[in-house]
């Protein structure tokens, strides 16, 4: 869930019920308010459905334009030679019986910009209507303001040379995901990337950061935070704005950095293809359309390094503030409305999409298939997945698997409810917040978990055992039909980083204090190092998909820079919600990473262990056998077998007492110790092994 919603109760009123117009010739943005008209009844709208190709297509030297707007009285197409142009060539579209407005124009119109004006009442005046973006636009030029006027770009897409590129198909059981933000991976100068903060920078061959760094870790999948075209800018801070409904009191940065305000479901984010180091306000962005090639180059480079690309996608709501999207095309059709016609807000992002509508479902499914076919994307993570209806969820995975049977489909199983079991029953993977909260804890103040020697909520040693086996429904604590449906993680972009959670939870860092020396603050104490390693050891030895967030491997700290805007009262403090900051709080600093290189090497070793030995990802439920331990409630030991390999995992989360583990019969050698991790045998063990507090080992049975 994201998070431009710090004031939940306030954001509920963000039901955009107006129409407006972008007038760069006047140097201002003018909004003409009017009452919405509702034609017919909501249930009647479900009868509209079309199998026609939507958006812009080409055939027989003609360019065909189609827009689904079942309640519109009139639709006009506007073509522009330049993104900045005010004057356009205008055409009237005709409506078919299925609610599709269309027109065929002679000649291929590639290179032009376009949009629609949608008339809903006889009184609508063209100059008072916003230019609506085609929801199927394949590339988008945007004027950078909070209202985000946009124009689609007409482009041919059959020019890219993929060469021998192919999907990186991974068995879900073997997936190790690195969650990353395109810009954050190379925006800091320490990355050494050319064109930092871009798709090109991410795959820079000479960079210390980005793809080279991700590859060095040994992960086999990268999950990119939203990189479809999105709204970069939020309302002006503490100022009256043109929407005239609410003043922004929560976001002094006036930015949406993470990208969870999607504007176009078929277009790559243009910001990540721009060569400027910073976002330029009140200018046109994405005019060249080069974002299409840049995104494909990025995917191709990851594939060359045997890394799958997973897109974080947002279909539960749409970009909230901008004018000229689905809200103005047909608000009643595309959005869930309350009894008064206002936008519903279970997403806490202001405007929930009505995914159960047939043509909304078609839009979503075709978007997924498009990214798979056109961009060779290997998988998807759905934000607030429970906001989607079950039929759409079922159609997504069924249709996607027809294109690629190995496609990775996972989600957040919450948003308007919580149901990981429902997703697993339909073959989806889902983020396992149970393992996150049970192992790490829910919050670092009074909700600490197992690695701290506490039980959060209803957690217990038996629940922890269930997590090791994949959190399966076959035991009383489980959620998933198969282990690979459980996406195991301890950190994501949301909330505190694992490193900061541990800093605060250990009581060694007071979050109320201002941090002036981030580099010194980021160094791990011996206790913090042990906590980080124990969490990682549990994560990488548990069955299921494994996910880590960028910087988790060096206990990244998110500290708000002291030179931030005046409105941020938390400058110099640890931040747990950085959706709004395009600055150092989010950027990966590779110089600071070097300080905690011991932890990075430990993560690399665990990743290698998991990659080399299938026991930690493919073991059967009954081939994980827990040892009986007495008088040590936070100690855990189990053997795990797969084919001819047997391992013994020993972990002691007691904060003060060491524990003497009696080893099963056989010749055991350590491959993971509290200091290092890997696949090489370090030393042989006797009949017992003493494990210090907050420490763990992995032993391998000699053949």
Domain ranges within the chain, ordered by starting residue? 620-701
pLDDT (tens digit per residue) in 72-88: 999 999 999 999 999 99
279 contacts 232 by C-beta, under 8 angstroms: yes
Position 245 scores a pLDDT of 75
pLDDT digits (tens, 9 = 90+) for 237-286: 999 888 877 899 999 999 999 999 999 999 999 999 998 889 999 999 99
186 exposure class (CB count in 10 Å sphere: 0-12, 13-18, 19+): buried
3-state helix, strand, coil in the chain (%, to 5): 25, 25, 50
Q: Report the distance separating Cα 410 and Cα 408, nearest Å.
A: 7
Q: How many CB atoms lie within 10 A of CB 34?
A: 16
What does the mean pLDDT of the chain come to? Answer: 92
Confirm if 190 and 209 have CB atoms less than 8 A apart: yes
pLDDT of residue 42: 63
CA distance 559 to 454: 27
CA distance 625 to 640: 7
* pLDDT tier at 41, thresholds 50, 70, 90: low
User: In the structure encoding, which two tokens stand for residue 522, read together?
Assistant: 């980021």
Q: What is the mean pLDDT of residues 290-300?
A: 97
pLDDT at 156: 87
Residue 673 C-alpha from the chain's centroid = 33
pTM for the whole structure: 0.93
What's the pLDDT score for residue 246?
84
Q: Would you state the structure tokens that stand for residue 199, as one six-digit string? A: 């798709």
Tally the C-alpha atoms within 13 A of residue 361's C-alpha that lie toward its C-beta: 19
10 Å CB burial of residue 304 (0-12, 13-18, 19+) is: middle
Structure tokens at 585: 């709080």
Angle at 231 between CA 45 and CA 588, to 5 degrees: 135
d(CA 700, CA 645): 8
CA 249 to chain centre: 26
Fold of 620-701: Immunoglobulin-like (2.60.40)
The answer, yes or no, to whether residue 95 has pLDDT greater than 90, is yes
Beta bridge partners of 636: 651
Q: What is the pLDDT of residues 580-616, one digit of tens each?
A: 999 999 999 999 999 999 999 999 999 999 999 999 9
Q: Where are the beta strands (DSSP E) in 173-332?
A: 176-180, 221-224, 228-230, 262-268, 284-285, 308-313
Q: State which H helix or E strand residue 602 sits in.
A: helix 597-612
Q: What is the pLDDT of residues 552-578, one digit of tens each?
A: 999 999 999 998 888 899 999 999 999
């Amino acid at each position: 869930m994201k998070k431009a919603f710090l004031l939940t109760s306030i954001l509920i009123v963000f039901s955009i019920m107006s129409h407006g117009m972008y007038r760069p010739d006047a140097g201002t943005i003018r909004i003409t308010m009017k009452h919405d008209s509702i034609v017919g009844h909501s249930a009647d709208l479900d009868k509209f459905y079309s199998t026609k190709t939507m958006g812009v297509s080409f055939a027989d030297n003609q360019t065909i334009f189609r827009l689904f707007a079942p309640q519109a009285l009139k639709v006009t197409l506007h073509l522009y030679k330049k993104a900045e142009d005010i004057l356009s060539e205008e055409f009237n579209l005709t409506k078919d019986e299925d609610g599709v407005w269309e027109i065929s124009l002679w000649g291929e119109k590639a290179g032009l910009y376009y949009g629609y004006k949608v008339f809903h009442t006889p009184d609508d005046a063209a100059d008072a209507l916003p230019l609506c973006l085609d929801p199927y636009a394949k590339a988008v030029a945007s004027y950078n303001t909070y209202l985000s006027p946009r124009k689609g770009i007409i482009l041919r897409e059959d020019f890219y040379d993929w060469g021998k590129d192919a999907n990186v198909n991974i068995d879900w059981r073997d997936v190790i995901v690195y969650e990353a933000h395109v810009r954050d991976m190379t925006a800091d100068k320490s990355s050494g990337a050319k064109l930092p903060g871009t798709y090109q920078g991410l795959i820079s061959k000479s960079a210390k950061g980005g793809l080279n760094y991700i590859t060095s870790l040994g992960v086999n999948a990268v999950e990119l935070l939203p990189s479809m075209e999105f709204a970069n800018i939020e309302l002006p801070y503490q100022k009256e704005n043109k929407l005239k409904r609410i003043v922004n009191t929560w976001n002094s940065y006036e930015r949406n950095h993470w990208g969870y305000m999607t504007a176009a479901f078929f277009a790559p984010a243009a910001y990540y293809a721009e060569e400027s180091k910073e976002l330029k306000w009140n200018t046109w962005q994405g005019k060249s359309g080069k974002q299409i090639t840049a995104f494909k180059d990025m995917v191709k480079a990851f594939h060359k390094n045997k890394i799958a690309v997973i897109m974080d996608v947002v279909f539960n709501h749409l970009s909230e503030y901008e004018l000229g999207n689905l809200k103005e095309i047909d608000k009643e059709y595309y959005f869930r409305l309350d009894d008064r016609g206002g936008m519903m807000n279970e997403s806490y992002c202001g405007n929930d999409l009505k995914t159960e509508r047939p043509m909304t479902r078609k839009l979503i499914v075709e978007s997924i298939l498009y990214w798979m076919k056109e961009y060779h994307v290997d998988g998807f993570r759905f934000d607030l997945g429970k906001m989607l209806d079950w039929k759409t969820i079922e159609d997504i995975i069924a249709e996607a698997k027809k294109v690629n049977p190995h496609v990775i489909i996972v989600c957040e199983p919450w948003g308007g409810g919580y149901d990981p079991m429902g997703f697993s029953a339909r073959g989806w993977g889902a983020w396992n917040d149970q393992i996150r909260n049970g192992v790490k804890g829910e919050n670092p103040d009074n909700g600490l978990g197992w690695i701290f020697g506490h039980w959060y909520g209803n957690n217990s040693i038996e629940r922890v055992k269930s997590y090791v086996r994949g959190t399966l429904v076959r035991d009383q604590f489980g959620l998933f039909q198969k282990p690979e449906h459980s996406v195991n993680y301890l950190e994501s972009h949301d909330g505190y980083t694992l490193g900061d959670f541990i800093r605060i939870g250990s009581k060694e860092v007071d979050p109320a204090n201002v941090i002036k020396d981030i580099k010194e603050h980021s160094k791990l104490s011996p206790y913090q190092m042990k906590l980080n390693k124990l969490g990682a050891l549990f994560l990488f030895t548990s069955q299921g998909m494994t996910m880590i967030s960028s910087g988790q491997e060096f206990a990244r700290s998110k500290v708000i820079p002291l030179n931030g805007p005046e409105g941020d009262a938390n400058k110099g403090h640890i931040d747990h919600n950085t959706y709004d900051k395009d600055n150092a709080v989010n950027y990966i600093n590779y110089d600071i990473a070097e300080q905690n290189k011991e932890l990075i090497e430990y993560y690399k070793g665990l990743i290698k262990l998991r990659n080399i030995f299938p026991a930690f990802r493919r073991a059967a439920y009954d081939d994980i056998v827990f040892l009986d331990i007495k008088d040590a409630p936070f100690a855990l030991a189990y053997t795990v077998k797969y084919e001819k390999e047997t391992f013994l995992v020993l972990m002691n989360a007691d904060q003060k007492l060491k524990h003497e583990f009696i080893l099963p019969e056989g010749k055991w050698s350590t491959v993971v110790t509290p200091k290092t991790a890997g696949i090489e045998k370090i030393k042989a063990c006797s009949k017992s092994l003493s494990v210090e507090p907050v420490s763990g080992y992995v032993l391998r049975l000699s053949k």
